[in-house]
Amino acid sequence: MKLSLGQTAPEFSTTDVYGKQISLKDFQGRKLLLAFQRNAACPFCSYQLFRLNKIYPQLQEKGLEVLVFFESQAEAILKSSFLTDQKLTIISDPKRKIYTQYGAEITADKIEKVFAIPSRMEDLQASQALKLASTEKEDGVNQAALPAAFLLDEKAIIRHIHYGQDLGDNIPLDAVSAFANQK
């Protein structure tokens, strides 16, 4: 079930890829981006992570924290080259428990759509040039999973929702920056 603006974000408790306990309550009083990516082998996801990591210091300075979810196993994520110089908190959710709480979609109907969008192909080429995505085939991931993202205020109220419409449809970083800049 998809979430709505103004709704309190569903609570979760999990660990990051390094084993550190993380819960939504830990971020009370701070703005938060929850970014649900596809998997460690997704070039669109790894490129989004690369770009997000570059602006993270400015976001953090404005009081915005970032949690990034992947449906990959932690071991697959830890082998990925996109973790180099990574400052963001990365969470493995291979059973899609938290994805389900937030209504992140799996649909084969939207897979091919990505190839008709020139900007997505530019992102794909950039990701490949930077060798960001894992080259290992990963069993158990949903090839039809779509990205989703949520911007939460200091009280964990959902203020912006982005449900991806294709494999590479991630939340625009200018929307993330604008939210971070809001008082």
Higher pLDDT, 129 or 87: 87
Tens-digit pLDDT profile for residues 87-124:
899 999 999 999 999 999 988 887 777 777 778 778 87
CA neighbor of 140 nearest in space, from 43, 79, 71: 71
In this prediction, residue 134 has a pLDDT band, given cuts at 50, 70 and 90, of low
Q: Which CATH superfamily is domain 13-181 in?
A: Glutaredoxin (3.40.30.10)
Length of the chain: 183
**Which H/E stretch holds residue 149?**
strand 148-152
Q: Is 4 exposed, middle or buried (0-12, 13-18, 19+ CB in 10 A)?
A: exposed
Question: 31 near 150, Cβ under 8 Å?
Answer: no
- What's this model's pTM, rounded to 2 decimal places? 0.91
pLDDT at 162: 98
How is the chain split into domains, by residue range? 13-181
91-130 per-residue burial string, b: 16 or more CB within 10 A, e: under 16: bbbbebebbeebbbbeeeebeeebeeeeebeebbeebeee
